[in-house]
Copies of this chain bind each other. A is one copy, B any other.
Amino acid sequence: MKQKIKFPRSEKVYLPGQLYPHIRVAMRKVELLPSVDLQEEEKVYTPNPDVYIYDTSGAFSDPAVSIDLKKGLPRLREEWIISRKDVEQLTEISSEYGRMRRDDKSLDHLRFEHIALPYRAQKGKPITQMAYAKRGLITPEMEYVSIRENMNCKELGIETHITPEFVRREIAEGRAVLPANINHPEAEPMIIGRNFLVKINTNIGNSATTSGIDEEVEKAIWSCKWGGDTLMDLSTGENIHETREWIIRNCPVPVGTVPIYQALEKVNGIVENLTWEIYRDTLIEQCEQGVDYFTIHAGIRLHNVHLADNRLCGIVSRGGSIMSKWCLTHNRESFLYEHFDDICDILAQYDVAVSLGDGLRPGSIHDANDEAQFAELDTMGELVVRAWDKNVQAFIEGPGHVPMHKIKENVERQVEKCHDAPFYTLGPLVTDIAPGYDHITSAIGAAQIGWLGTAMLCYVTPKEHLALPDKEDVRVGVITYKIAAHAADLAKGHPGAQVRDNALSKARYDFRWKDQFDLSLDPERAQSYFRAGHHIDGEYCTMCGPNFCAMRLSRDLKKTNKKNS
């Protein structure tokens, strides 16, 4: 497996904090060539400023760090966590299932070797970023994200509102989430909220029929290379526990899961046999492994399940269909809803965030914005307040499949019903007629919903609805969603977002081809397309030929104008 990540002419740099001078905020710096102008037959060089790029690739792109997947990434945040003196390291893992897997010799060959004992809050100590924020404390994590969100601003003198104190307030008020399980100290701090850069999540994971641990870890690193901000492991096959350990230990971004998937495996796929006890043990198992956020479909209410009956596509959320079946079979409210406070009590001890899953999200254009969907949203609004009361950071999942004219209503209702909690949507796909291209149908919706205030976009790959994504699909899915998120950042006027567009456009106008490639989201692809085009070097290309190059003509004109004036 190729572990190191390299981008052309890029340097890994670290910016220090002011409140916390020891923090090192990772960025990728791209050095640009100077612009060249011909004045009086002489070449005049004007330097172009470096461009800083938000970097999700962690230590994998730092040539100074040696990577050993068997040992995992450096534990960046461990010192910060310990020095707060409010957590304890356990002497034994708490989950019964976790201990069983650990003691199963037949799994030795699969197992990640260097598992540390987990941390947990000291009894009665509130240790979540939200708890600190409410108390007025700015953590190193908060300062880290404030610097990270401001790439290029300080260097170019761009004014910005994103201070450490602003970050603190957004978290305290529930408008932003900083996922930071104390058992995933390898992850670099990042923030999810409408007043920050729009983030993207990528899904990986095997199913009962496909792929192994190596392949999933490789996809995880690959996703971080191209710009995935968080990573959900949606594995449903065998060895979920072991796969997850490998992923978390090697993942520089927050990891999410849907614990009900593993719980269902534990009862051999028989939905009616799921119990609160099994689910509870699964939560604890994953909290102690270091999962940063859980999708929990607690918004499914017994009296709402039938609302999906009249749909064209019924229930398309896996978790939603599982919990709906459970509710109907037992004719009672789900244990997720009934035990939601207990769930939050567990999550608070590790600072795991809750992502309220939209089990009744529409699965087709026809079903968008219907009663079932909005009834669940109302319940989520009730639950998010209960999470906040326990200092648990929370965000809200959203659709799915929505035609463009119904996107705005989704965001407005979510903001209102869920009291400004961050929104995290899957696409949405704006039409159903393009299987094989659903990264595109959904990016159209994602860009718009991001602009309207959605904080994180869950990527969709070209294989959606058809097969599980391979590595190339992950790459295309991530880049497509980076486009949607960045387009939203531009439209929202995020400070510093347009710096990269301007630098790339200027490079284009200057015929600095190398700079164009290196500033682009996927330098390798841009360069390979260019090369395949058999380009002539210099100030035109095969696209238009020398007589029809608008940019060349335009530059010549500008020179003529200057001379005449």
Chain A residues packing against B (C-beta within 8 Å):
207-210, 236-237, 261, 264-265, 269, 271, 305-306, 308-309, 312-318, 320-322, 324-325, 328, 363-366, 401, 403-405, 430-437, 439-441, 443-444, 447-448, 451, 462-463, 465-468, 479-480, 482-484, 486-488, 490-493, 498, 500-502, 504-506, 508-509, 516-517, 519-522, 525-526, 529-530, 532-536, 541-551, 553-558, 560-561
What is the minimal beta-carbon distance from A555 to any residue of chain B, in angstroms? 6
What is the minimal beta-carbon distance from A361 to any residue of chain B, in angstroms? 10
Query: Which residues of the partner chain B approach A533 to less than 8 Å between Cβ atoms?
Result: 463, 466-468
A436 B526 Cβ-Cβ under 8 A: yes
Of chain B, the residue at the smallest CB distance from A509 is B313
Query: Which residues of the partner chain B approach A532 to less than 8 Å between Cβ atoms?
Result: 467
B550 A318 Cβ-Cβ under 8 A: yes
Query: Which residues of the partner chain B approach A547 to less than 8 Å between Cβ atoms?
Result: 208, 236, 264-265, 269
In the complex, 17 of the A-B residue pairs with CB atoms within 8 angstroms, ordered by the A residue number, are A207-B543, A209-B536, A264-B547, A313-B505, A314-B550, A318-B544, A320-B550, A321-B550, A321-B554, A363-B551, A403-B498, A430-B491, A436-B529, A444-B484, A448-B448, A465-B508, A467-B530
**Contact A504 to B432, CB < 8 A, known contacts A264-B548, A545-B236:** yes
Query: Which residues of the partner chain B approach A451 to less than 8 Å between Cβ atoms?
Result: 404-405
What is the minimal beta-carbon distance from A394 to any residue of chain B, in angstroms? 23
**Contact A542 to B431, CB < 8 A, known contacts A317-B550, A505-B312, A535-B467:** no
Query: Which residues of the partner chain B approach A437 to less than 8 Å between Cβ atoms?
Result: 479-480, 483, 521-522, 525
Complex-state Cα separation, A502 to B431, whole angstroms: 10
Complex-state Cα separation, A316 to B544, whole angstroms: 11
**Contact A403 to B491, CB < 8 A, known contacts A208-B545, A551-B314:** yes
Nearest 9 pairs between A and B by C-beta? A467-B533, A314-B554, A269-B547, A208-B545, A364-B505, A321-B553, A404-B491, A436-B525, A315-B554
What is the minimal beta-carbon distance from A444 to any residue of chain B, in angstroms? 5
Complex-state Cα separation, A467 to B542, whole angstroms: 6
Query: Which residues of the partner chain B approach A462 to less than 8 Å between Cβ atoms?
Result: 529
Query: Which residues of the partner chain B approach A208 to less than 8 Å between Cβ atoms?
Result: 545-548
A557 B324 Cβ-Cβ under 8 A: yes
